[in-house]
Structure 1
């Protein structure tokens, strides 16, 4: 392992994901990634771009901006080393509906889908741990979608009143 890989591993090795892996498996995952440094205000990805990689935050702070119905705009910030961003990119090349922006100088690891697939097809434990993480994220997204649906449709009388008010305003 090179010195720069050791420094990266030292920063992210304490995260919940990496702490569960054997050291050699974690190092293999880090070695499969491309190091990336982004400056404050620099976009890591933008809405409409094809999802082609997941990112692991090594240091710095990243904000993800996206639109969510019915809430409107939402911003989430991440600063914990070892945090994974855009994990669904490892599954399919959907288009980004969000923007990832560095809030300060940040170091990330970029894991492309082909690199992930190579680890997965080799039966690498880190790839299987990532599949578990992707499943956990999917469950969280479904719960969030259910919460938002309940907010809109869980109170039918209130929703109808709101829709009627909006339709009256639209006719003026």
Structure 2
């Protein structure tokens, strides 16, 4: 099993990683347990050590719009560190998770000792904002098949045999693509008949990545 240092190797500088490891509190979540909910008061950043966490927002019609599925090494909730207040999204564990939680007060103390940490965290926030802008562009301007193809390619991971598989249900994919479950199931069914992918209970397996990339426009 990878240690925390190995998991955080791509998160900023050694000083930032040291601050996270020394000041953060370890927590564990069960499947479907909420890290935080939209509009909750927040003052903490989280680092995902294992498992997967979905970030989503509520739509006016009652549906949820999935913004991202985070995996090991991801940092999220950083806005609340600089501006404690209502959360702008909901974070929920898709499976059992281990996380580190760093509160605003502890971060402030760390930054007072090393002001450069503030710039690194601002860079992380900038990366998150850039990603969210790309997500918004997809939701507004791309048709459902293109959005859905991009989500499948984005979140699929390769198994030991090199097959690209995605552990999300049709409902979860619908949240990520900003569409109804029925619409997503219809598109997936068409791709399955064409041999582009295979679907099952809670998973999607890519069979023809070239075709899927053509549909995604990438």
Q: TM-score, normalised by structure 2?
A: 0.54
Structure 1 SS opposite 2:3:
helix
Q: Which of 36, 52, 63 pairs up with 2:27? A: 36
1:27–1:123 Cα change, 3 Å = closer
- 8 Å Cα contact 1:63/1:102 also seen in 2: yes
User: How far did 1:98 drift?
Assistant: 1.9
- 8 Å Cα contact 1:62/1:78 also seen in 2: yes
- Structure 1: which 5+ residue stretches go unaligned? 1-5, 152-172
Partner of 2:11: 17
* Number of equivalences: 138
Pairing 1:1-172 to 2, within 5 Å after superposition: 7-13=3-9, 16-18=10-12, 21-22=13-14, 25-67=16-58, 73-75=64-66, 76-79=68-71, 81-141=72-132, 147=137
For 1:49-80, what per-residue CA distance to the aligned partner results, in whole angstroms no more than 9, with x for missing partners?
Answer: 112111111111111121368xx63212111x
User: How far did 1:144 drift?
Assistant: 5.6
Which of these two proteins has the greater Rg computed from alpha carbons?
Answer: 1
Q: Partners in 1 of 2:135 and 2:70 — Cα distance?
A: 18
1:63–1:128 Cα change, 3 Å = same
Higher RCO, Cα 8 Å, sep 6+: 1
- Structure 2: which 5+ residue stretches go unaligned? 142-218
Structure 2 SS opposite 1:137:
helix
User: How far did 1:99 drift?
Assistant: 1.5
1:121–1:54 Cα change, 3 Å = same
Runs (4+) of structure 1 moved beyond 4 Å?
139-145
- 8 Å Cα contact 2:11/2:17 also seen in 1: no
Q: Partners in 2 of 1:51 and 1:37 — Cα distance?
A: 18
Q: Partners in 1 of 2:134 and 2:94 — Cα distance?
A: 28
Q: Partners in 1 of 2:135 and 2:93 — Cα distance?
A: 25
